[in-house]
Structure 1
Amino acid sequence: MMALDQDHPVEDLEPADSWALLAASELGRLAVSVGDIPEIFPINYYLHDRQVIFKTAQGSKLVHLTINRNVVLEADGYDDETAWSVIVKGTAKTIQDTELIEAARKLPLPSWIPTVKYLYVQITPHTISGRRFARGPETWQ
């Protein structure tokens, strides 16, 4: 990791660093697009064997994934000195295989809201990228 400062406030992350940050987080934003209309949904997820797994119920999110499986997931975080953002582009599909569903049920993937979510979705990443940013006041030059 390079030192971030006012002269170098942005760092492009190596894929391994992006994977590590994605694995350490559990909340992201799922971006989908149907008929040229983009939508974004907050999701909690779990990274398992470089596959992003999340739970959902019947509704607009699932309808969007059925129409267009191409998705983008963004996760981010920050501390006092830096912030980061990781972007995963891939394809999503509802897990149908009984054995895979049983395996997914054993993952540490609790729902953040008190609703029943019984469908599991898997995002297979095609690309991952990330950036780290120095935090601080804007500078004018």
Structure 2
Amino acid sequence: MTADEQPTGKLTFDECWDLLEGDTLGRLGLVVDGHPEIFPVNYVVHRRSIVFRTSGVTKLWNAKSERPAALEIDGYDPHTEEAWSVVVRGDTEIIEDQADKDAVDSLGLEPWQPGEKAHYIRLSARAMTGRRFKVNSPDVWNTRTADRRRASFE
């Protein structure tokens, strides 16, 4: 059976949130000047929403404009040889309440990139999709060393 023939498992809403809570890095998609842009962000899940911090340039402008955004994460489990992907689509807003900021900080939201990241942005999910699928077994001799599937046999 090829990857095209293998069934894709849709993830439930709760499975998507579990995967989001278990990760810390995603790709944030925004429309900037009429075209899509992708930004890596580290995040936490707070009250079933995605929260990240920013210095106040593009991502903050987008949040102030209350424009739609999307966050995507994915992964691979070498033990089950399954890959997964979760996409969250929704609206962004700036978190002003200090109690919410403190709660988010208590979850370990610490920016990876140096510099002040004083603005907290919340992505509230309006739609969420997730899927899990079995990947093709890697060819031990021909698969690139950086391919995550190699962990299945190393």
Counterpart of 2:146 in structure 1 is none
- What letter is aligned with 1:76? D
Mapped partners of 1:60, 1:121: distance in 2: 12
Q: Which runs of 5+ in 2 are unaligned?
A: 139-154
Please give the per-residue CA displacement for 1:22-73, whole angstroms capped at 9, x wherever unaligned. Answer: 1111110110114431111100000122011111112122223333421111
Q: Do residues 39 (structure 1) and 65 (structure 2) align?
A: no
Aligned to 2:61: 63
Structure index of larger Rg = 2
Q: Distance in 2 between matches of 1:31 and 1:65?
A: 12
Unpaired runs of 5+ residues, structure 1, are none
Deviations 1:79-134 (A, max 9, x none): 22111100111111111123322333322112212222111111111111101121
Q: Which moved more, 1:31-40 or 1:17-26?
A: 31-40
SS in 1 for 2:120: strand
Partner of 1:122: 122
Q: Which residue of 1 aligns with 2:14?
A: 16
Task: Provide runs of 4+ in structure 1 moved above 3 Å.
Answer: none
The corresponding residue for 2:100 is 100
Contact 1:33–1:68 under 8 Å retained in 2: no
Higher strand share: 1
- With normalisation by structure 1, the TM-score equals 0.84
